Structure formats: structure tokens, C-alpha cells
Amino acid sequence: MPKRHTISAEEVAEIQKTRRKNQDKMIDKWLEVLLLHADGKSREEISAKTDFGKQYITELVGEYRREGLEHFSQKQYKGNHRNLSYDDEVALLEPFKAKAEVGQIVEVSEILTAYEKQIGRPVGSNSQIYNVLDRHGWRKQQAPEPGK
């Protein structure tokens, strides 16, 4: 059965050039899939060599056809995007800081509720709040034991 997506010799040269410049391991594996496909290897052979599933290999080749090498060779993951700027986080924590400075207990759940209200959606876990607190130099203190 003929291949649905063929890759020309010029495209192979462009992929090889991009692969030489690349330093990201995942992008290198994606480019390797394209080169193996262009070399006439079957999905089974490519899967055995790259540890990608056969369906994923088909998706990668199709994506290359639709989007081109420029899109394909860029990192698809961009890292953690903060919901608020540093200054917005400072403003959010200000009432809690005032409360803590007069000796009242500040609970993470209170900050989480205010945070979610400000960004307009649920966060899902307290870890986001702990990261915000860490960025601003807050630290956890244990309440003193009764009678001490």
C-alpha cells in the first residue's frame, strides 16, 4: 500500500539541517520519526526504533504535513505560566500579611479562595499557593503547643 504522506528529498535535507541545529531530545525524536518515514520504514519499524506508538507516528507525520517543519520543530511545551504577575501576587497577599503581622493565623485555604476568585477559576490544589508564598518569602510556622 503506498504511503499517504511522502516526504521529498528537499524536505529530508531541511529536516536533517534542523536536526543538526536542534538541542532538545524530544524534538530530535520527532525529527527522527520524519526521517525514518521518509526513508520508507514502516510504522512498526519506526515504533520499534523510537518507542512511539504506531498511531502517534501517524499523527506526527500528518502534523508535519499540515503544519510544516517550523511548527513541528518548536517546543510544544512552554513551561509553567503564572496566573498573576508578581505585583498582583503582592496585592493579593497584602491583607493576609497584615493579618499575620498582628498575630492571627493565616490558613492556606483562605489564600486559595482569594486566589481563585481573582483569577476566575479553580486552581485544583494548594501547591500553587505554596509556590506563591515561597516566591514572596513566606514560611510555615507551627502553632505553639498549649501550655508552653
Residues 67, 94, single domain; the answer is no
Residues 64, 115, single domain; the answer is no
pLDDT over 70 (residue 81): no
**What pLDDT is recorded for position 94?**
94
How many angstroms separate the CA atoms of 93 and 91, rounded?
A: 6
Residues 50, 92, single domain; the answer is no
Its pTM stands at 0.51
Number of domains in the chain: 2
Q: Is residue 20 part of a domain?
A: yes
**What pLDDT is recorded for position 92?**
93
CA-based nearest residue to 128, from 140, 115, 142:
115
Helix (H, G, I), strand (E, B) or coil at 146: coil
How many angstroms separate the CA atoms of 78 and 69, rounded?
A: 18
**Could you read off the pLDDT of 97-126 as tens digits, one per residue?**
999 889 888 899 999 999 999 988 888 788
Its domain, for residue 67, covers 9-72
In the block, cell 507525520 appears at 61
**Could you read off the pLDDT of 48-62 as tens digits, one per residue?**
999 999 999 999 999
